[in-house]
Chains A and B, each alone.
Chain A
């Protein structure tokens, strides 16, 4: 069964600190993995996308890693800001079309 699991479910960090969000997947055949950021009351917005051959991808203070052997991905946020408070969703594409969504990690950056 195709599944994407994210951890932790929620996280509170102090402004300026770093944090890492985890995504484990069992999806076949693997096509790509994308991290979305979803602000409260808004739709998800893509942060990064990685294919099988990519190990890391950065977007400003966001850095995603992918280990295709262990089927794990992480999203690292550096020097967190209050605006980073959001839900972060890991999405894996299986084959040509089907997307498998994780339930997300809710991050709160506290001043």
Chain B
């Protein structure tokens, strides 16, 4: 298995532009998570999906952020318009079950976003 796949790995954009981050979870995993990581705040959960349905988006910072999961093998995180404070590493993770001993989340390599 290739693991969680994210693209692009690096993104540099200018303030005000739309940014779309992409994620392909591990096949068979029914949970998908989007995280943001910064030096100051560490890892923060933005939103997670179960069977393609958004379950908890309370971590989404504001309306400029949106996430979709049109099918079991693809999800996007969109920022429109982007701002310099959105600069961070964005991780996608997937897991088989939400709780219990098999709840390990497998993380992708991340997308490093820089907004100038």
Contact = CB atoms under 8 A, between A and B. Distances in A.
A12 interface: no
B42 A104 contact: yes
B107 A45 contact: yes
B99 A42 contact: no
> Interface on chain A toward B: helix, strand, loop, or mixed SS?
strand
Interface residues on B, range: 20 to 34
B79 interface: no
A45 B103 CA distance: 13
Contacts of A96: 98-99
A54 B105 CA distance: 20
Q: Which DSSP category, helix, strand, loop or mixed, fits chain B's interface?
A: loop
B104 interface: yes
A89 B107 contact: no
B109 A99 contact: no
B28 interface: no
B42 A43 contact: no
Contacts of A97: 55-56, 98-99
Contacts of B55: 97
Nearest to A104: B42
